A and B are shown apart, each in its own frame.
Chain A
Amino acid sequence: MEALTIKNLKKTYEGNHEALKGIDLNVEEGDFFALLGPNGAGKTTTIGIISSLVNKTSGQVKILGIDIDQGHSLAKKQLGVVGQEINFHQFEKVGQIIRNQAGYHGLSYLQAKQNAEFFMKRLDIWDRRNDQARTLSGGMKRRVMVAKALVNRPKLLILDEPTAGVDIELRRSLWDFLQEINNELGTTIILTTHYLEEAERLCRNIAIIDRGEIVENTSMKDLLARLEKETFSMDLDKPINTIPSNGDFDFKLKDSRTLSVTVKKGQQLNEVFKTLSNEGIEVLSMRNETGRLEELFLSLVESDPDKSLLLDVKLGEME
């Protein structure tokens, strides 16, 4: 079954800002799925709609086959959400926050207490259960957010940039923890991120969102393989009819005077030219045909977590 099905989802915020332009998304049960995209792409809006924090403009959302408009309460029962921003009451105690969340889901006091204890221990916040939430460090607060989202033992866990602004150590331990949850409990996990490395490390499938549109939805493997390649477009001095043959390169004729070639990153372009000149073809000009996806990726790769870590730490101290 599909853990999440989204059809033609649109959201226009007040003031006519079109944040989602009709997205489609399918996530299989048991999957570890990444929704990758730069800031402002519409990730939080999408999650907001799934978790009924944001009213959609149109479209359909199903959680484990249940339409959120019709089976509202049944659908939400299966859901745990870790929001992008800390959203618990700072003056409440950690244990209380997590227990209450279970209570809102309808668990009895005793059951809530048990589940809360289980996840607080797993996330190493058990010792802080009687402390007011505001006394916790940023990283600890993140863990409270995760424990809170899991306390009803949801089948679908959604995390909105869970590792933005946390230090390397916590980031790694959170990654391990999520993988355990995915393996042990079979919880379907969807996380949004703007770090490629995070998606690469954790996720089997991936969708890429940009400016309110899904630009790619595929397996992590396929995506990485595709990013390994580069395509160039070449203008030729005179028309040709036959495509040059060379097993190593993938040539395509766009029109009689434009030839495109796809090479693996790192492959020598010299080889391409050699092949062409052997066949008497001269290249007048050449350009890299970087598509929207590749461009997007370049920008994402530049915001690699480990590179931007210094900045994160600084921001963390200022909070």
Chain B
Amino acid sequence: MSATETLNAFLTIIRKEVIRFTRIWLQTLVSPAIMIALYFVTIGVIIGSRIGEMGGFTFLEWMVPGMVMMSVINNAYSNVLSSFFSVKFQKSIEELLVTPVPNYIILGGWIFGGMARGIMVSVLVIIVSLPFVNLSVQNWPLAILVIFLTSMLFSIGGFINALFAESFDDVSIVPTFILTPLSYLGGIFYSIDLLPEFWRTVSLGNPILYMVNALRQAVLGSSDLATMGMTIQFALFMIVLFIVILFFLALWLLNRGKGIRA
């Protein structure tokens, strides 16, 4: 395929992906926004007022970057997972396999689709947070970069999950048993300062902790990164490293025909 043809194929996949999740916008965009709004009201406003400060900020301020991250992670991941799984399930993956479109374009197309949804939902979450909290973002470019990279990483994760999933029951295993616990324990609500020594150390093995705090650093100008003895550069480096590793893993699985070729 020539460069133009490759680009056309890439744009076709992305367009199709965006059309897919905007077609079912109630589920994919509105529902996560409502869920986050409920978190803000119940935990942020009502309970949060009794909690007092967290890491030197009001609980609501502390919580917003965590909520943004949680929604980016969930939505990027589940978008690619459910979209690619249903393409596999309905056999419309064959539409792509019979064409010359290279596998990295297929993978890239779905990743961009997942990122588009993750980023859109994160914008919605920020809009929803406006009535509750008056945030002045300290470092916009960094905030955007962190959201961008995180949505990319979890889109790839969702793709790998979709390749392995063989039934609708398989689809929810990783999100329920791995992703959700890691998110809740990834410091979206609390500072790891609050944890006993042992659990603080255990938390360091959770990659989501780094991402949540990287965004918190960008938004609030302060985070747990310092406590963890870590710079923002290192956190970004780790995210990029994970992206590279998982991207090539996904591409390798795709090239082998994992879950899609007999």
Cβ–Cβ < 8 Å partners of A53 in chain B = 94, 97-98, 261-262
With A73-B102, A77-B100, A100-B95 as known contacts, state yes or no: A87 contacts B90, CB within 8 Å.
Answer: yes
With A103-B11, A103-B12 as known contacts, state yes or no: A89 contacts B86, CB within 8 Å.
Answer: yes
Interface 9-mer from B1-9, B58-66, B117-125, B213-221: B1-9
Interface size for chain A: under 10, 10 to 19, 20 to 34, or 35 or more residues? 35 or more
Partner among A14, A79, A86, A108 whose Cβ is within 8 Å of the Cβ of B98: A79
Partner among A14, A89, A106 whose Cβ is within 8 Å of the Cβ of B92: A89
B95 CB to closest chain A CB, in angstroms? 6
Chain B CB within 8 A of A204 CB: no
Q: List 28 A-B contacts (CB under 8 A).
A: A48-B262, A52-B261, A53-B94, A72-B100, A77-B100, A81-B94, A86-B91, A87-B94, A88-B90, A88-B95, A89-B92, A96-B19, A100-B12, A103-B8, A103-B12, A104-B12, A104-B95, A105-B99, A105-B100, A106-B2, A106-B4, A106-B6, A107-B5, A107-B8, A108-B4, A109-B11, A112-B8, A148-B95
Chain B CB within 8 A of A246 CB: no
Partner among B1, B86, B98 whose Cβ is within 8 Å of the Cβ of A52: B98
Cβ–Cβ < 8 Å partners of B23 in chain A = 91
With A73-B102, A88-B95 as known contacts, state yes or no: A106 contacts B5, CB within 8 Å.
Answer: yes
Q: Which of B2, B11, B12, B90 has the most CB of A within 10 A?
A: B12
Chain A CB within 8 A of B87 CB: yes
With A106-B1, A106-B2 as known contacts, state yes or no: A88 contacts B8, CB within 8 Å.
Answer: no
Chain B CB within 8 A of A273 CB: no
Q: B1-42 toward A: CB 8 Å interface, digit per residue (1/0)? A: 110111011011101100110010000000000000000000
Chain A CB within 8 A of B101 CB: yes
Q: Are A106 and B100 in contact, with the CB atoms below 8 A?
A: yes
Give me the 10 closest cross-chain CB pairs, A-B, nearest first: A106-B5, A103-B12, A73-B100, A87-B91, A104-B99, A76-B100, A89-B92, A51-B98, A87-B94, A54-B262
Q: Are A85 and B12 in contact, with the CB atoms below 8 A?
A: no
The secondary structure that dominates the B interface is helix
- Apart from A101-B95, A101-B99, what are 15 other A-B pairs with CB-CB below 8 Å? A55-B261, A55-B262, A73-B100, A85-B91, A87-B92, A88-B90, A88-B92, A91-B23, A96-B19, A100-B95, A103-B13, A104-B9, A105-B100, A105-B101, A107-B5
Chain A CB within 8 A of B52 CB: no
Q: A180-198 toward B: CB 8 Å interface, digit per residue (1/0)? A: 0000000000000000000
Q: Are A54 and B99 in contact, with the CB atoms below 8 A?
A: no
Chain A CB within 8 A of B56 CB: no
Docked complex Cα distance between A104 and B97 (Å): 9
A142 CB to closest chain B CB, in angstroms? 15
Cβ–Cβ < 8 Å partners of A14 in chain B = 262
Residue of B nearest to A86 (CB): B91
Docked complex Cα distance between A104 and B2 (Å): 13
Q: A47-88 toward B: CB 8 Å interface, digit per residue (1/0)? A: 010011111000000000000000011101101010101111
Residue of B nearest to A106 (CB): B5
Docked complex Cα distance between A148 and B9 (Å): 15
Chain A CB within 8 A of B96 CB: yes
Chain A CB within 8 A of B257 CB: yes
Q: Are A73 and B98 in contact, with the CB atoms below 8 A?
A: no
Cβ–Cβ < 8 Å partners of A106 in chain B = 1-2, 4-6, 8-9, 99-101
Cβ–Cβ < 8 Å partners of A74 in chain B = 100
Cβ–Cβ < 8 Å partners of B101 in chain A = 104-106
Q: Are A103 and B94 in contact, with the CB atoms below 8 A?
A: no
Docked complex Cα distance between A221 and B16 (Å): 47
Q: Are B94 and A83 in contact, with the CB atoms below 8 A?
A: yes
Cβ–Cβ < 8 Å partners of A87 in chain B = 90-92, 94-95
Chain B CB within 8 A of A135 CB: no
Q: Are A89 and B8 in contact, with the CB atoms below 8 A?
A: no
Docked complex Cα distance between A105 and B262 (Å): 23
Cβ–Cβ < 8 Å partners of B99 in chain A = 76, 101, 104-106, 152
Cβ–Cβ < 8 Å partners of A103 in chain B = 8-9, 11-13, 15
Q: Which of B86, B96, B101, B262 has the most CB of A within 10 A?
A: B262
With A103-B8, A107-B8 as known contacts, state yes or no: A76 contacts B261, CB within 8 Å.
Answer: no
B97 CB to closest chain A CB, in angstroms? 6
Chain B CB within 8 A of A90 CB: yes
Residue of B nearest to A158 (CB): B98
Docked complex Cα distance between A216 and B195 (Å): 76
Chain B CB within 8 A of A118 CB: no
Q: Are B262 and A96 in contact, with the CB atoms below 8 A?
A: no
Residue of B nearest to A88 (CB): B92
Chain B CB within 8 A of A13 CB: yes
Residue of B nearest to A71 (CB): B100
Cβ–Cβ < 8 Å partners of B262 in chain A = 13-14, 48, 53-55
Q: Which of B62-108 contact A (CB under 8 A)?
A: 86-87, 90-92, 94-102
